[in-house]
Amino acid sequence: MDNNTAAKKVMVSGIQPSGDLHLGNYLGAVKNWAGLAQEFDCYYFMADLHSLTVRQDPKELRRRSVAQLAQYVACGLDPEENTLFIQSNVHEHAELGWIINCYTMFGELSRMTQFKDKSAKNADNINGGLFTYPALMAADILLYQADFVPVGQDQKQHCELTRDVAMRFNNIYGDTFKVPEPYIPKVGARIMSLGNPTSKMSKSDPQGCVFLMDKPEDIARKFKRAVTDSDTERCVRYDIENKPGVANLMSIYSSVTGKSFEEIEREFDGKGYGAFKPAVGDAVIETLRPIREEAERMLADKAYLQQLYTQGAQKAAYVARKTLRKVYKKVGLVEKPF
């Protein structure tokens, strides 16, 4: 680790391999992550252990974990500048997860709103992992002595729990964990479904969702069918209240071309939706083309991908091992003989 890296603040983020990334993921978040490596020492992992709280098809989980890693690299997360790995490849996550479990209170876990939400959705599989996974999430963060954790609104509780557990452990055993701060990432455009512009773009709505790995003809078809508005004027104007469909398409077009809403309104003045929707589709196709092609190239080269996630796991494990060794000593576990 060079001096520049050592001087940087550490940022950690885990991403569940739940399927292909879509345009909303890219424009809303991932596009901005590439630049963070200049300021932070970033650790990004595919959180496959967290995925096990829901029943998975084993072959599909393995495929998604590797495919999603390839897509993140294709989106600009340089593996030389970021530590990219698969969570289960670094066994220290599971080991510290158990220890953190023992310092996390039942009442704290009971108050997690995501447990309540996920229990309602998976009533036939309310397992122990679903209840305790915030403790594993805390271990994921504390393992790397993170200064910052990027959080959305739905993850604030988990960051607060991580801070509480870190402070509790430090109060008992002395300075062991860095207490992380939430990092509110720079958010790009909030991209809505092409079929229902009042809902966020989501993979659960495949017709209203543009995936990064979609073929150009599929992207073009989705944009041609995109919901606009039923008003009679049919003009391209940004009005999120009265014209949410057009406003969403304008947000997408602005994000991929860099044009302001005023410039877009001038460009399509008098042309109507028939010209506007295909133009947005074409702009998205050209934006996603290099990402899709690079991800496909990597996915065709299994040896390269294996080398990529192996090197990432080795880098992560080097740091994780130091933290775990310190924790073992503090709690009274016998030092590992090998």
Half-sphere exposure of 172 (CA within 13 A, CB side): 11
Q: Start-end ranges of CATH 3.40.50.620 in the chain?
A: 3-188+301-331
Which range (9-13, 87-91, 241-245) has the least confidence? 241-245
Greater confidence (58 vs 114) lies with: 58
Q: What is the CATH number of domain 206-296?
A: 1.10.240.10
pLDDT in tens, 185-218: 777 778 999 999 999 998 888 889 999 999 999 9
pLDDT in tens, 112-141: 887 777 777 777 778 888 899 999 999 999
Residues acting as catalytic residues: 118, 200, 203
Burial class (CB in 10 A: 0-12, 13-18, 19+), 209: buried
Answer yes or no: is pLDDT of 19 > 80: no
Contacts of 71 (CB under 8 A, 6+ apart): 20, 21, 212, 213, 291, 295
Q: Start-end ranges of CATH 1.10.240.10 in the chain?
A: 206-296
In this prediction, residue 106 carries a pLDDT of: 93
> What is the share, in percent, of the chain residues with pLDDT greater than 90?
71
The whole-model pTM stands at: 0.87
In this prediction, residue 289 carries a pLDDT of: 97
Average pLDDT, stretch 47-75? 93
Average pLDDT, the chain: 91
Answer yes or no: is pLDDT of 5 > 50: no
Number of residues that this document lists for the chain: 338
| Cα dist from 301 to 136, 138, 190, 211, 295, whole Å | 32, 34, 34, 21, 10
The CATH number, out of the four listed (3.40.309.10, 3.40.50.620, 3.40.30.10, 3.40.50.720), of the domain defined by the range 3-188+301-331: 3.40.50.620
